[in-house]
Chains A and B, each alone.
Chain A
Amino acid sequence: MERTLALVSCRSMDAHVSVDDIAAMIERRLPANRRAAVEAHLAECAECRREFVDASTVVGSPSPRSTNWMRWVPLVAAAAVVIAAAPLLLHRGASPARDNERSATPAATSISTVVPESESRVASDSVTFAWHAVPGVATYTLFVTDSVGTLVFSEKTTDTTIATSTKLHLLAGAPYYWYVDALTSDGSSITSPHISFSVRNR
Chain B
Amino acid sequence: MPVDSRELEHLLKAPPEERERAWQAFVGVHSRLLLHVARTAFHDRDEAMDAYAFVLDELRAKELTRLRSFTPDGKSKFSTWLVVVARRLCSDFRRRRYGRSREVLSERAREEQLFRRRLHAFAGEDVELAGLAAPAPGVEEQLSASEVRDALARAVDSLMPADRLLIKLRFEDDLSAQRIATLLHLPSPFHVYRRLEALTKTLRRSLEARGVERVSPE
Q: List residues of A whose CB falls within 8 A of some B CB.
A: 1-4, 19-20, 22-24, 26-30, 35-37, 39-40, 42-44, 46-47, 49-61, 63-64, 69-70, 73-74, 76-78, 80-82, 84-85, 88-89, 96-97, 99-100, 102-104, 143, 145, 149, 179, 181, 188-189, 191, 194
Q: How far is the CA of A179 from the CA of B89 in the complex (A)?
A: 38
Taking the complex as formed, is B102 at the interface, i.e. its CB lies under 8 A from any CB of chain A?
A: no
User: With contacts A3-B92, A56-B182 known, is A88 near B25, CB below 8 A?
Assistant: yes
Among residues of B, the one whose C-beta sits closest to the C-beta of A19 is B84
Task: Give the residues in chain A near B158, CB-CB below 8 Å.
Answer: none
Q: List residues of B whose CB falls within 8 A of some A CB.
A: 4, 20-21, 23-25, 27-33, 35-37, 39-41, 45, 48-49, 52-53, 56, 58, 66, 69, 71, 74-81, 83-85, 87-89, 91-92, 95-96, 108, 111, 160-162, 164-165, 167-169, 172-173, 175, 182-183, 185-190, 193-194
User: With contacts A23-B81, A53-B183, A194-B188 known, is A100 near B35, CB below 8 A?
Assistant: no
- B87 pairs with A188, CB closer than 8 A: no
- A77 pairs with B21, CB closer than 8 A: no
A19, A57, A61, A97, most chain B CB atoms within 10 A: A19
Given contacts A19-B88, A29-B76, 6 further A-B contacts (CB under 8 A): A23-B83, A53-B183, A82-B24, A85-B24, A89-B28, A103-B33
Among residues of A, the one whose C-beta sits closest to the C-beta of B24 is A85
- B92 pairs with A2, CB closer than 8 A: yes
Q: How far is the CA of A90 from the CA of B87 in the complex (A)?
A: 30
Choose from B161, B167, B169, B194 the contact partner of A40 (Cβ within 8 Å).
B161
- B91 pairs with A26, CB closer than 8 A: no
* A-B contact list, 28 entries, CB within 8 Å: A2-B92, A3-B92, A23-B83, A24-B75, A26-B84, A27-B75, A30-B75, A36-B162, A39-B164, A40-B161, A42-B165, A46-B172, A51-B91, A55-B84, A58-B36, A58-B83, A59-B83, A63-B32, A70-B32, A82-B24, A82-B28, A88-B28, A96-B31, A100-B32, A149-B189, A179-B187, A181-B187, A191-B188
